[in-house]
Amino acid sequence: MPSCELCGKETDSVKKAKIEGAVLRVCESCASIGEDLSQKSTRKKKKKRRTPKKRGSDEVLIPKYGEKLKEARESDQLSIKEVANDLNEKESLISKIEKQELKPDKTLAKKLSDKFNITLYTNPEVSDYGAQDRGNQKKATLGDVADID
């Protein structure tokens, strides 16, 4: 005959109950103290799998993106404060991007690109590495672009 795990009394039937955080097999009277789990489904819930976020593309930030942004802002004769207010961003954020202390995420880069009609993210093309020799259509190899000491 099973016994209650709380009071120790032998009983014909035990119930699962959660009492002060512990799940116990208890008698009828002790089950009334806690939350009766015997009526709840004992199946475990499946955890939802997170799907990795798909990246829009393999775009990369252009070299000297800060200079390009600053030149565009100055050619429109706008202050950092005006740009920040227009885009609803902080002045310090725009300033750090211009100094290349911070890389803009794609959302902010799109806002800046649209405002100044410039490109900050672009698709990298390895074949353009040797652009000075357009007559030779040979693609660059890893050895051409990597510095190996």
pTM to 2 decimal places: 0.47
Please give the average per-residue pLDDT across 54-69, as a whole number. Answer: 80
Same-domain check for residues 35 and 65: no
Residue 80 has pLDDT above 50, yes or no: yes
Has residue 44 been placed in a domain? no
| More confident position, 86 or 46 | 86
CA-CA distance, 131 to 69, in Å (whole number)?
24
- Residue 16 forms beta bridges with which residues? 25
Work out how many domains the chain is built from and give that number.
2
Same-domain check for residues 105 and 70: yes
User: Which of 59, 65, 75, 64 has its CA nearest to residue 116?
Assistant: 75
Q: Which tens digits make up the pLDDT trace of 16-40?
A: 888 888 888 888 888 888 888 877 5
Residue 56 has pLDDT above 60, yes or no: no
- The SS3 assignment for 22 reads strand
Per the structure, the complete domain to which residue 8 belongs is given by 1-39
CA distances from 54 to 24, 57, 103, 104, 107 (A): 45, 9, 20, 19, 15
Same-domain check for residues 22 and 64: no
Confidence of residue 41 (pLDDT cuts 50, 70, 90): low
Q: Which tens digits make up the pLDDT trace of 81-113?
A: 999 999 999 999 999 999 999 999 999 999 999
